[in-house]
Structure 1
Amino acid sequence: MPNFQYKQSLTLLVKCSPRQDTRVITTSIVGGNIRDIVQLVSDVISYPPPTFTWYYNNITTGDVEPIYNDDVFKQIDTSISINTYRSTLTINITSNIFYTSYTVNVSNNIGYTEIEYQVTALSKPDVPSNINSLPPSHDSICIIWTPGFNGGGQQEFIVQHSVDNKTWTSSTPLPESKPDYCIKNLQADTTYYIRVIARNKYDDSQPVYLISSDGSSTIQTLARVDSSPPTVPPDSNTGLIAGLVVTVVIIIFMAVVVVILVRKIKQRTGKDESSTYAGLDLETRTATGVDDTTYQGLQHYVNLQPSSTDIVNTQNNQNYDSLQQIEPTTVYDSLNTVDSSLNTVEDRTRTDNSTTTFANINRDEKSAYVNLGIQSNI
């Protein structure tokens, strides 16, 4: 059996009584001068289609009279869509009697509604209404309001603030489409008066003050709060640990300094000792045969005056220079001279006292070496 699909579009219409179409901005008050032509426009939602009937309040008779098309009034009804409609009433203002209230009755077989309008002479704007403020900060206050009738001309708004209700600071003109404003760069914890004025090409409206929630005509900014983070007191344990660390670092530093100083002193002492012994003549020490006594005296002298190294070196060089001057060969040369003399005497006398002579030679030799040792000590 074949599978068939059917598709069909249906339009569902819901019946309703007429009501004002709030999606469209409606001007309920219109201003104009004598001989001006103004329009009253009414937009509604309705199904089935509505019937528009206009009325005006005749200020001469005090009666509400229906409006018919003539030289003063002209009504045009338009269907915008299947359920939205518009009616436009054009008024030729020929006298002051047309500055009055107007009503449009919109009805169908379900129900009806009435919408009111006002035609006025061009004048200054009406005062704004419903002025309210948002929560203030320490340096700003933001307000909003509802615009009034513009007096038949384009209007704008001025927001003013003062601390004494005498000297006022004004904002730049604000468009009618933006009925809100933030006053900035205010002083913290300060009371302000705030008011709004409507203005058009004819004149300014009366100023309207902002009324606070407590009923006063002033509003106060908040106190300034320090944004810096709170200071947290240091923990006692943290301070103790920090003190210990600093102490240890100081001790280590002092120990390093002491070690460096000790090394420098040792190095300098070694250099001084080397300078002291550099002036000694090793050959002279061997020749004298009395090294111990001589060098003990020198070491004793150095220990007594450690800061006079140059003086000790000079004295040592002088002492050993004198030792070099008395060479052992001089003594032996004198011995040779004595020996030659004795030999000559022996040849002349040929006596038997030769042993006595050599005994004297031995004594002279000892005496010579004794004198050599004394000079070395000197």
Structure 2
Amino acid sequence: MVTKGAMLWLACTYDLDGGTLGHLRWRDEEVRTVILAIPTSTPQCSTSFPDNYRIDCNLASNEVRLGILNPVHGDTYTCSVYLSDATLKGWVLTQVSIIVPVPNVTLTSPVSDTVTVTPGDSQVYTYVTGSCRPPARIDWYKDGVNVTNQTGSVSNDGDEFVTTSSFTLTGAKDDRPATVQCRASNVDGMTPVQSGVKTLVVQCPPEIPTNIQEMENTETTIIVQWTEGFNGGQPQTFVILYRPEGGTKTETVSVIEQQQSTYTKEITGLIPNTRYLLNMYAYNVVGNSSLSSVVDIISKTNQECSYKGEMTSIPNLASIALFITSSVLLVTAVFLVMCIICRRKLRKMRGRENNPVAEAGVNLPLSPVGQHDISTERSHYDDLNLEEREPPSNYECLGSNAAANVNTQASTDDRQMYESLGTRSNAAVYDELEGPASRAHVII
């Protein structure tokens, strides 16, 4: 057996069992003598076709070798040994076998160098060798590790063979991009022929983030922590959804995957002392994961704020506005009350200035005529200040100046009138004052 293009040597070794060699012949399949060896001739070995054959003659070792310069696969050669008496001692027939190494390996499917599958799906890889002899064996490698070897199916190509082999690779959820390659050989010890490297990528939507929990919060911020799930074989992005309980507007925050398994994110701009509903999902180029379960998180009240380990009270805008409004209303009310009191006092002072007689206890008109001379037109009933008070001790209801300017009769009449004021109505008093002019004895 020899590789194609190499010279083939065939050896004929004999044992005469004590006899003497007469001659040895190498014949081709056409029964032509191509080598003749005679111990008594010179040279002992010769060929009739020196362009096609070579001779290695070693009769002392009972061996004669035939060298074929251009061997043809399947040709037969016969070596015959004869004794000195021309008796045939024996013969042997040898068929030429030419090895044709595997020239190449070709991928027939899939055509693409990179194939994407989802977990649980399979991809079939098929390789075909070039014509060779003997049939090739194909070894399959995944990520550089031999996973199978097989001869596959063999078909004839004249006096050579073509080997076809297939390998099925199923994607698993946790598979990273895997490389697939095959190596073919048909002779032990020869360097196998390697195929090109193909890549199998397992892709799917990412898994749901887990272990979502609140790490820290203030009145307006919350720090959330979670653990990533399988990214589906592609870079993933995390999306946090949150909204106030009972609210209709949902806010989102996105976080791009990094080389880590646990993530944290600070959410800002929250309403103090408010319960928030929070969940999240992840997505990649294939699709989205399902939503995680909802987590309840309550932001702190705005009256609790940490500053160097001490708690201080921080009023909000609503409290400040309420305080200012209440203060303005209170000041306005006090101002109105003071205005009313001052106005009443001013009115009373003006009334006394216009009717000084009232200082004595009774506001009587100066005269039926004089009372109309006052610039402010008021009812006569208003001029009668019938306040309840003790009568003057000497019934000097009109004052010392008025008593010096009336006669005795007038004083007596006036005193009687004053005594009757306590039991009569304002109208009766007015009628009394409207009597004859001779009754008005008051002179100021």
The normalised TM-score by structure 2 is: 0.26
Write 1 or 2 for the structure with the bigger share of helix.
1
Q: Higher relative contact order at CA 8 Å, sep ≥6: structure 1 or structure 2?
A: 1
